[in-house]
Every structure is written in C-alpha cells, then in structure tokens.
Amino acid sequence: MPATTLVENDLVELLYQDKKGPLTINDNFLDSYVNGCHDLGLPPVFFKQALPETPSEAMKQWGLPIQYAELDLDVFFASKITSMNEAIRVADELVLFRERGLEPMLRFMIYMVQVMKDNHIVWGVGRGSSVSSFLLFLVGLHQINPIKYNLDIKEFIR
C-alpha cells in the first residue's frame, strides 16, 4: 500500500505548480514527483539529467557521425553558392552562427536533412523565422530562399 495519497495526475500537477519557464522545474518538486511515482509503483516519466558543459560534450550525445562532426562548413557552403550575393550572405551568416556557437547545430542540420532524404521522410517547406536563414536554405531544411524574398537573417538570429 503506498504511503501517499497522490494519484498520477497529482504528480504532473505537482511538477508544474512553480514553473519558471520552459524546461525549468524546481528540484524539490521533481524530487517529490519521483518519490510519488515510486510510492505508487509507477516509473517516472520526468527525471533529472545533467546538462552537457560544452557544445562538444552535447554533440557526443547527438550520435552525430564523425564525417558530419568534422565537416568543414566553409567548404560545404562554398560548394553550394552560385553568385557573389550568395557568397556575401553565406559569409555574413557564418559569422553570426559562429559568434553564437551554433556551428554544431548547423552540422547536425546537415546530417538530419541527409537522413531524411535517405529515408524518404517528408518535411515542410519552411516555417517561422528559420526561413530567414540562407544557410538553412542551402542545407535543405526549408525551401524558402531568403535572398529572393529579401528576408533579414536577424529575424532568425535574434
């Protein structure tokens, strides 16, 4: 017989009663939730997980094949441009992505698009601020050419 009168719905409600924002839950509430699950004989759905300390540590958890993890983004994007205007936009965006430490994300997007192509997985034509990125267009993540429609990269990066 469980030592508590909590039911499963109470556990989820307990988690979110002091919510501070996306993906942030007070540790005390999470501990109460996990203990309540154990008292009820239920496996917890939510649990603590340590965040990686660096982007390279995070990449190890992504299961990114080495050829993508070591991909030279300058060479990759240089092979895709067809005009001086595109070259300038690629250079400008690469600076912004690098300033924000987003190179691992770009490499992962290149890998993810290739996996979707290889497995005949359909994805959308583009949505939200991502269509402002010419790099993501060149990767194939969306089909909206932001140069053609004069979309500012700052809409994506902000």
pLDDT tens-place string over residues 52-61: 777 667 767 7
Per-residue pLDDT at 55? 64
**Domain co-membership, 79 together with 152:** yes
C-alpha separations of 86 from 37, 89, 109, 129, 136 in Å: 54, 5, 20, 19, 13
Chain centroid offset of residue 62 CA: 10
**Domain co-membership, 63 together with 115:** yes
**Domain co-membership, 60 together with 12:** no
**Domain co-membership, 20 together with 84:** no
**Domain co-membership, 70 together with 147:** yes
Per-residue pLDDT at 53? 76
**Domain co-membership, 32 together with 97:** no
The one-letter code for the residue type at 92 is D
**Domain co-membership, 5 together with 69:** no
C-alpha separations of 98 from 2, 47, 102, 115 in Å: 52, 32, 6, 24
**Domain co-membership, 2 together with 74:** no
Angle at 82 between CA 80 and CA 84, to 5 degrees: 115
**Domain co-membership, 2 together with 27:** yes
The owner of tokens 């390279």 is 56
**Around Cβ 71, how many Cβ atoms within 10 Å?**
17
- 30: which residues sit within 8 A by CB, 6+ positions away? 15, 46, 47, 48
Per-residue pLDDT at 1? 41
Q: What are the pLDDT digits (tens) for 119-143?
A: 999 998 888 889 999 999 999 999 9
**Domain co-membership, 41 together with 64:** no
Name the more confident of 120 and 46. Answer: 120
What's the total number of domains in the chain?
2
Range of the domain at 66: 55-157
**Domain co-membership, 11 together with 85:** no
pTM: 0.66
